[in-house]
Amino acid sequence: MKTYIVGGAVRDELLGLPVVDRDHVVVGATAEEMATLGFRPVGSDFPVFLHPETREEYALARTERKTAPGYRGFVFHASPGVSLEEDLARRDLTINAMARSMDGGEIIDPYGGRADLSNRVLRHVSPAFAEDPVRILRIARFSARFQDFSIAEETLALMQSMVAAGEVDHLVPERVWNEMARGLMEKRPSRMFLHLRACGALQRLLPELDALFGIPQRADFHPEVDTGVHVMMVVDMAARMNLPLPARFAALTHDLGKGQTPADILPRHIGHEAASVRLLQPLCERLRVPAECRELALLVAKFHGDIHRADHLRPATMVRILERCDVLRRPERFNDLLGACEADYRGRLGFEEKAYPQREQWKNTARVMAGVDAATIAAACSRTGHVADIPGRIHEARVAAVAASGMH
């Protein structure tokens, strides 16, 4: 029995990056022997165990064989006779198919991963890559993490053939969302979506986003012109601003409605906010987007234009928007909304370093609104028997306070 550190830990060590998780492969052992040594089995699909002290994962060396479309159609075979090289051969990319013995010995690299690391190339290990459509999402996500890596031409061609064969159509929503969310949290999320588009997967998985490429915008507001290019700049700006996942998802989806603008009014996009909301609802249902991300994305899609136009809005309009955003009960969410809107503004050619004073305008207006004594107003209405008037009276007081403050 011999144990090796494999995969991402070896890759990151060679890249000089911090090693967060260590995966281990055990060659020449049985499940019974692992249990005798105190390892605790986890999962039921294949033999993976937790170390009794470190709780790190140890998997028996295994091979796999595809039996059905999609990512679930696999049969795994683990036995003491499976070699390390056979186990590494089932991995997705050469840079993830390296191993190091536990005693700190030399790197075992049967598929050229070290050379691909040096050349900054993402390359599949074998034709078996085509058996698992999740790998399309993973390699696109890796391209967002490793910004100076390119995808090998033959690997991109294989990804394109997988899409043409309908493999991505078998992906379950949870896996698509999980990989997309992880990609959005990388340093340059745009690379994930651009590579998904290059292989044809974006059109199958996110047709609403794919439709934005080639749609023109007014050059005076958007010097980059192309809506798809703009959205890619926005998600990268959101990453640069270190925004949380809900804000990054909102940045990705805020302009979906521009893909439905009638050709005869381009490059204007009148009413695109409402169109974005209509497209976003079914998209979130289809991908089973978590409520926190869905709710913020809908607010940003609906109100980002108004947030940008703070200087031109009446106090009543600003208060109404703040109330609809539930700013007093959900201030953190509203702050994320402002972050996504700032990313939208600065995610334009030549706007990257521009100030966004609207953020402070809205925050200051919210503070003024919060200063209104709603409890006293409610009590006064109750005493006079005008309970139904409470919401309207509070709203009027907030509008008056904002108007008097000069924040609008």
Mean pLDDT over each residue of the chain, to the nearest integer:
92
- For 169-186, what is the mean pLDDT? 96
Residue 167 Cα distances to 10, 136, 170, 191, angstroms: 30, 10, 6, 21
93 secondary structure, DSSP code: B
Which residues have CB under 8 Å from 33's CB, separation 6+? 1
CB 257 within 8 A of CB 273: yes
- What is the share, in percent, of the chain residues with pLDDT greater than 90? 76
* DSSP codes joined into one string, 192-246: HHHHHHHHTHHHHH-HHHHTTTT-B--TTT-TT-BHHHHHHHHHHHHHHTT--HH
Confidence class for position 373, pLDDT limits 50, 70, 90:
very high
Q: Which domains does the chain have, with CATH numbers?
A: 2-113 (3.30.460.10), 206-405 (no CATH)
Where is pLDDT greater, at 132 or 237? 237
Measured CA to CA, the distance from residue 101 to residue 108 in angstroms comes to 8
pLDDT at 319 exceeding the cut of 80: yes
- Provide the pLDDT for residue 72: 57
pLDDT at 71 exceeding the cut of 70: no
Helical segments of 129-184, H only: 134-145, 153-164, 173-184
pLDDT at 69 exceeding the cut of 70: no
pLDDT digits (tens, 9 = 90+) for 391-407: 999 999 999 999 999 76
Residue 359 Cα distances to 297, 326, 362, angstroms: 17, 17, 6
Global pTM reads 0.91
Question: CB 286: neighbour CB atoms within 10 A?
Answer: 14
